Amino acid sequence: MIKIAPSILSADFSKLAQEVKDVEKGGADYIHIDVMDGHFVPNITIGPLIVEAIRPVTSLTFDVHLMIDNPGQYISNFAKAGADIISVHAEACPHLHRTIHQIKEQGINAGVVINPATPVAMISEILSEVDLVLLMTVNPGFGGQKFIPNVLKKIQQIKQLKDEFAYTYDIEVDGGVNEETASLCIEAGANVLVAGSAIFNEKDRASAIAQIRGNVNK
Ligand code: DX5
Ligand code: ZN
């Protein structure tokens, strides 16, 4: 089953609640929330207060992507605010095993993320412990960037390891996902697709979501 996770980074923040409801109505599976600190990535976005504010608006899974230094310091804040999944970058976690377990101790799902230039080998020892592997298909920091096709072979590697060792994680991709690149990602083994601009820049979110999902079901 393919899941679609609209990234609210590309939503109209002046009416965020309405935007979240709109994609829920349009068939979204998750709400993807991009947290940036101006250190790990060159942009500042959403904190736990905003997550808490939109929590009552929807029952969809909150998929929180932390692009911040020292993510461990903020895990309980985001969990209390309503996160269902928290993903941390391997590049930002010198003690990745500890950080992943900190997330699980909150009673929620834990994901690990790697940037386009980071090899799969960097996370091989944590794959048995995570609920989600998120492969960045752009360099994190901004919405609306171009998909990096080199990442497709890392999706295949992560899928192959999943099958070989019977791991249970979902495989998510994030960045530059549109109806064309979505089908390439699914073919490579991804089952959760984040899309920001390809959904929120369209007036009709239901049809944008259906197009991304429809194309991949061909
Ligand atoms: C990039 C973020 C993405 C971004 C995706 O740093 O992690 O979630 O919002 O936006 P699009 O789909 O426009 O590339
Ligand atoms: Zn993201």
3-state secondary structure of 123: helix
Q: Which atom of ligand 1 is nearest to the CA of 144?
A: 13
Distance from Cα 158 to the centre of ligand 1, integer Å: 21
7 is in an annotated binding site: yes
**What is the block-wise mean pLDDT of the chain (218 residues), using blocks of 10 residues?**
97 98 98 98 98 98 98 98 99 98 98 98 98 99 98 98 98 98 97 98 97 67
Provide ipTM, 2 decimals: 0.98
Q: State the DSSP H helix or E strand holding residue 75, giving kind and residue range, or none if neither.
A: helix 75-81
At residue 14, the pLDDT reads: 98
**Pocket residues for ligand 1 (CB within 6 Å)?**
7, 9-10, 32, 34, 65, 138, 140-145, 174-177, 194-198
Which fold is adopted by the domain 3-216? TIM Barrel (3.20.20)
pLDDT at 214: 78
How far apart are the CA of 138 and the centre of ligand 2, in A?
10
> What's residue 217's pLDDT?
43
Amino acid identity for residue 135 in this structure:
L
Residue 125, token pair as written in the block: 């020892």
